[in-house]
Amino acid sequence: MPITKEMKIKTTKEQLFNHLESVEQMKKWFGALEKIEIESPTNEEEICKGSLLSIGFRTRKVSKILHGEVVAYRKPELFGIRLHLPHVVVDLFFDLSLRKGVVLLQCDCEIGVPEGSSKLRAYLSSLQVRYLLYTRLKRLKSLAEKRRFRRK
C-alpha cells in the first residue's frame, strides 16, 4: 500500500534534514517518542545506510519498542528507514529538493504485510500509519518553519 505526501516548507534543506535525523528534533515533532537509539555498523556516531534503529514510544499507558534500520541516507537530500511493526513492515522515505526557494518534502511510505500476518490487522495498522504520517508531517512543517523565522 503506497502512500505519498508532498509539502512545501519554508526553510533550508539542511535545517529540515536536521529535524529528520537529530534525536532531539525528532522527539519534538513525532510526539510520543521516549527514546531513539541508532547503532551504526561502522561503530561511529554518524548515521549511515545499514544503521539499526530502536524506537521507544508510549501509547496511552503502554511503552513499546520498534526495531528497524536505515535503508537510504544521503545528507541533506534523502533519508529512508524500514520499521518492523507487529502486523506490517513500513518503508518510509523522505526526499528533500529545492524548488523556487522553498524546500519540497516528498514522503513516500510503502506498507507491506509480512507472510502469516492477518490482512485485517494489517489494514487497520495501515490506517493508523496513514493518520500518524499526516499529523506528524504537519507538526514537522510547523516546527521547521518556526525555527527558520526565529533565526532571522
Q: Half-sphere exposure of 57 toward its Cβ, with a 13 Å CA cutoff? A: 15
- 33: exposed, middle or buried (Cβ count in 10 Å: 0-12, 13-18, 19+): middle
pLDDT of residue 97: 94
Q: Which residue intervals of the chain are DSSP H helices?
A: 13-21, 23-30, 119-151
Determine the CATH number of domain 2-151.
3.30.530.20
Beta-ladder partners of 127: none
Q: Please tell me the distance from the alpha carbon of residue 38 to that of residue 152, in angstroms, as a whole number.
A: 32
Q: Report which of 17, 10, 15 is spatially closest to residue 94, judged by C-alpha positions.
A: 17
Map out the domains of the chain as residue ranges.
2-151
Task: Label residue 22 by pLDDT band (50, 70, 90).
Answer: confident
Q: What is the pLDDT of residues 24-66, one digit of tens each?
A: 888 888 877 888 888 877 766 678 888 898 988 877 788 889 8
pTM score, whole prediction: 0.85
pLDDT of residue 86: 81
